[in-house]
Amino acid sequence: ATPTSIMVGTGKAAELGILFRRGEALQQLRNATVVAVDKTGTLTRGKPELTDIEALPGFAADDLLPLVAAVESRSEHPVAAAIVAEARRRGFAIPETAGFAAEPGYGVSAQVAGRTVQVGADRYMRKLGLDPAPLADAAARLGRDGKTPLYAAVDGRLAAILAVSDPIKPTTPAALDALRALGLRIVMITGDNRATADAIARRLGIDEVVAEVLPTDKAAVVARLQNDGAAKVAFIGDGVNDAPALAQADVGVAIGAGADIAIESADVVLMSGNLAGAANAIALSRATIRNIR
Q: Which does 106 bind (CB under 5 to 8 A by kind): ligand ADP, Mg ion, none?
A: ligand ADP
Please identify which residue in 27, 30, 36, 41 interacts with Mg ion, judged by CB under 5 A: 41
79 binds ligand ADP (CB under 6 A): yes
Q: Which does 238 bind (CB under 5 to 8 A by kind): Mg ion, ligand ADP, none?
A: Mg ion
Q: 31: which DSSP letter?
A: G
Of 107 and 132, the one with the shorter C-beta distance to Mg ion is 107
Closest separation in Å from C-beta 205 to ligand ADP:
20
Give which of 26, 18, 17, 29 is closest to 235, Cα–Cα.
29
Would you mind telling me the total number of residues written for the chain in this entry? 293
- A 10 A CB-CB count for 96 gives 10
Residue nearest to ligand ADP (CB): 191
Please identify which residue in 239, 244, 252, 277 interacts with Mg ion, judged by CB under 5 A: 239
Note if 63 is an active site residue: no
Please identify which residue in 38, 72, 86, 192 interacts with Mg ion, judged by CB under 5 A: 38
Q: Give CA–CA dist 226/185, Å, rounded.
A: 12
Identify the H or E element spanning 2.
none
- Report yes or no: 288 and 6 within 8 Å, Cβ to Cβ: yes
Please identify which residue in 80, 112, 179, 269 interacts with ligand ADP, judged by CB under 6 A: 80
- Report yes or no: 13 and 20 within 8 Å, Cβ to Cβ: yes
Please identify which residue in 27, 73, 75, 285 interacts with ligand ADP, judged by CB under 6 A: 75
Pure H helices in the chain: 3-15, 23-28, 61-72, 78-89, 122-127, 136-144, 172-181, 194-204, 218-227, 243-248, 260-265, 276-291
| 45 backbone dihedrals φ, ψ, rounded to 5° | -65, -30
Footprint (CB under 6 A) of ligand ADP, residues 98-157 = 105-108, 119-121, 148, 150
238 binds Mg ion (CB under 5 A): yes
Binding site for ligand ADP (CB under 6 A): 39-40, 72, 75, 77, 79-80, 105-108, 119-121, 148, 150, 190-192, 215, 241
The residues annotated with a catalytic role in the active site are 38
